[in-house]
């Protein structure tokens, strides 16, 4: 994991503050298992600690499914925190974002 542990201090602050809010407002993970339970993705050396996990175009990977409502809540929380910290957050690939 060497080389993957550094982030700009303001980015860290945005992430930490956002997830503090989400911890109480939206405690679900962004992935569900087959029974609909909110779960962590499996991470271990054999799947390169999650880096080998690829969801298909329907948001599925093996028995896991992306919970898009929860994912949207995470994105909104991050966006709100960028505004709180007066950070100009630019969306890459704006041509794919609906106005």
Cα–Cα dist 21/60, whole Å = 27
* Domain ranges, residue 49: 29-88
Q: Is residue 95 part of a domain?
A: no
Q: Is residue 61 part of a domain?
A: yes
- Give the number of domains in the chain: 1
Cα–Cα dist 52/41, whole Å = 11
98, with CB counted inside 10 A (0-12, 13-18, 19+), is exposed
Quote the DSSP letter at residue 94. G
Q: Is residue 14 part of a domain?
A: no
Q: Is residue 3 part of a domain?
A: no
55-97 pLDDT, tens digit per residue, is: 999 999 999 999 999 888 888 899 899 999 988 766 665 565 5
26-66 pLDDT, tens digit per residue, is: 888 889 999 999 998 888 898 888 889 999 999 999 999 99
Q: Is residue 76 part of a domain?
A: yes
Supply the pTM of this predicted model.
Answer: 0.71
């Amino acid at each position: 994991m060497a080389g993957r542990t550094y982030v700009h201090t303001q980015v860290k602050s945005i992430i930490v503050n956002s997830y503090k809010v989400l911890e109480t407002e939206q405690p679900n993970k962004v992935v569900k298992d087959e029974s609909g339970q909110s779960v962590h993705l499996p991470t271990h050396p054999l799947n390169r600690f999650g880096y080998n996990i690829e969801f298909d175009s329907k948001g599925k990977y093996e028995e896991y499914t992306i919970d898009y409502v929860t994912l949207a809540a995470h994105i909104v929380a991050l966006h709100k925190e960028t505004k709180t910290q007066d950070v100009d957050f630019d969306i890459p690939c704006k041509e794919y974002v609906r106005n």
